[in-house]
Chain A
Amino acid sequence: AQSVTQPDIHITVSEGASLELRCNYSYGATPYLFWYVQSPGQGLQLLLKYFSGDTLVQGIKGFEAEFKRSQSSFNLRKPSVHWSDAAEYFCAKRIIFGKGTRLHILP
């Protein structure tokens, strides 16, 4: 069965610091991969997606992700986080979601 693993349940970073959230996926011929963000009490919003082409994809809110087939990874990055980035982040393969990583921002 297709699966997505997010190894970190919680991540805490200081405002202005860089961020990397990890995501590993089970092997598939074409890994349709997505990152979504969820603020409390809200639905999920798409940050970015990958299915082919350039392995570094840019998303909204200054996020980017790099697809590495050799490592079965699709990690999300941001060079400098803002307090408003505090939220739950989900990696997904098609319509199946990882367990999520909750991002905390220190002032």
Chain B
Amino acid sequence: DTEVTQTPKHLVMGMTNKKSLKCEQHMGHRAMYWYKQKAKKPPELMFVYSYEKLSINESVPSRFSPECPNSSLLNLHLHALQPEDSALYLCASSQLGTQKLNSPLHFGNGTRLTVT
């Protein structure tokens, strides 16, 4: 069982739809991440939130909009996506702090997104 829960597991959306991906963790982690993973490729970092504030945006297109409403929740709002955005979207969390740089990422099982 994963300690990071992602919903939905699968999502099919049209290019004009608006949808949201959700991620939840209750490990007290104060860093949360969104990764995009295409088939047979490594996870690509999209966003990092530290203490509920966006700290890293890896030049992600504005049709992806992250939100961190509290320390346990992370959302990814999707609007006007393209078929090439179809991928597995992974959420992760980790501890924060200068003494915690060796803290690993804890991943959810991802949301498989298909854009039609």
Contact = CB atoms under 8 A, between A and B. Distances in A.
B60 interface: no
B102 A99 contact: no
Contacts of A92: 105
Interface residues of B, number: 22
Q: DSSP class of B's interface residues: helix, strand, loop or mixed?
A: loop
B8 interface: no
Contacts, number: 52
A43 B104 contact: no
Contacts of B114: none
Contacts of A43: 2, 4, 90, 92, 107-110
Given A32-B102, A43-B90, A49-B102, A98 B107 contact: no
Interface residues on A, range: 20 to 34
Contacts of A41: 88, 109-110, 112
27 contacts: A32-B101, A34-B104, A34-B105, A36-B105, A41-B109, A42-B109, A42-B110, A43-B2, A43-B4, A43-B92, A43-B107, A43-B110, A44-B92, A44-B105, A44-B107, A45-B107, A46-B104, A49-B102, A51-B101, A90-B42, A92-B105, A94-B101, A95-B33, A95-B45, A95-B105, A99-B41, A100-B41
Interface of B: 2, 4, 33, 40-43, 45, 48, 88, 90, 92, 101-102, 104-110, 112
Interface of A: 30, 32, 34, 36, 41-46, 49, 51-52, 90, 92, 94-100, 102
